[in-house]
Amino acid sequence: MNRTQTAANNFSTRFAVGAIAILLASTFIVQPGRAALPAAVDGEPLPSLAPVLERVTPAVVNVFSSTRVQVRTSPFFNDPFFRRFFDIPNMPRERVQRSLGSGVIVDAEAGLILTNNHVIDDADEIAITLEDGREFQAEFIGADRETDLAVIRIEADDLEELPLFDSEQLKVGDFVVAVGNPFGLGQTVTSGIVSALGRAGLRGLEYQNFIQTDASINPGNSGGALVNLRGELVGINTAIFTPSGGNVGIGFAIPVSTATYIMEQLVEHGEVRRGNLGVEVQDLSEELRAALKVDQRGGAVITAVAPEGAAAEAGLQAGDVILELDRRPVRDSQQLRNIEGLLAVGREVAIEYLRKGKPRRTEVILAEDLDSRISGQRLDDRLDGVVLVPVPDRYAQRGIRGAVVEEVRRNTPAWEAGLRENDLVVAVNREAVRNLGDLREQFPVRKSRELALEIRRRGRGYIVIFEQQSSS
Bridge pairing between strands 112-115 and 149-153: antiparallel
Q: Are 178 and 222 a contacting pair, CB within 8 Å?
A: no
The predicted structure's pLDDT at residue 29? 35
State the catalytic residue, choosing from 144, 148, 380, 438: 148
What is the percent of the chain with per-residue pLDDT over 70, rounded to a whole number?
A: 81
Q: Where is average pLDDT lowest: 23-37, 145-159, 246-260, 440-454? A: 23-37
User: What digits encode the pLDDT tens for the residues 312-342?
Assistant: 988 999 999 999 999 989 988 988 988 888 8
- List alpha helices for 342-452, DSSP H: 393-396, 413-417, 436-441
Active site residue 118: yes
The predicted structure's pLDDT at residue 41? 61
The residue with greater pLDDT, 15 or 380, is 380
The predicted structure's pLDDT at residue 229? 92
Judge whether residue 450 has pLDDT over 60.
yes
> Which amino acid appears at position 119 of this protein?
V
Which residues make Cβ contacts (< 8 Å) with residue 265, sequence separation at least 6? 142, 144, 271, 272, 273
User: What digits encode the pLDDT tens for the residues 362-376?
Assistant: 999 988 888 888 999
Q: Are 413 and 433 a contacting pair, CB within 8 Å?
A: no
Question: CA-CA-CA-CA torsion for 364, 367, 369, 373, nearest 10 degrees?
Answer: 120
The predicted structure's pLDDT at residue 163? 94
User: What digits encode the pLDDT tens for the residues 97-153?
Assistant: 777 889 999 999 999 999 999 999 888 899 999 999 999 999 999 999 889 999 999
Q: Are 224 and 188 a contacting pair, CB within 8 Å?
A: no
The predicted structure's pLDDT at residue 242? 62
Judge whether residue 417 has pLDDT over 60.
yes
- The strand order across the sheet containing 60-71 reads 135-137, 125-129, 60-71, 93-107, 112-115, 149-153, 139-144
Judge whether residue 16 has pLDDT over 80.
no
pTM above 0.75, yes or no: yes
The predicted structure's pLDDT at residue 402? 92
The predicted structure's pLDDT at residue 135? 93
The predicted structure's pLDDT at residue 14? 44
What's the whole-number average pLDDT of the chain?
Answer: 82
Largest CA distance in the chain: 110
Judge whether residue 9 has pLDDT over 50.
no
Question: What does the H/E/C string look like for 237-259?
Answer: EEEECCCCCCCCCCEEEEEHHHH
DSSP per-residue letters across 68-99: EEEE-SSGGGG-HHHHHHTT-----EEEEEEE
The predicted structure's pLDDT at residue 34? 39
Active site residue 121: no
Section 410-418 average pLDDT: 90
State the catalytic residue, choosing from 65, 102, 195, 222: 222
Active site residue 166: no
Judge whether residue 423 has pLDDT over 90.
yes
The predicted structure's pLDDT at residue 2? 43
With cut-offs at 50, 70 and 90, classify the pLDDT of residue 39: low
User: What digits encode the pLDDT tens for the residues 384-405?
Assistant: 999 999 998 888 888 899 999 9
Domains observed in the chain: 54-153 (2.40.10.10), 167-258 (2.40.10.10), 279-365 (2.30.42.10), 374-466 (2.30.42.10)
State the catalytic residue, choosing from 79, 102, 118, 214: 118
Which residues make Cβ contacts (< 8 Å) with residue 185, sequence separation at least 6? 220
Q: Are 279 and 304 a contacting pair, CB within 8 Å?
A: yes
The predicted structure's pLDDT at residue 25? 31
Q: Does 47 sit behind a cis peptide bond, omega within 30 degrees of 0 on the bond before it?
A: no
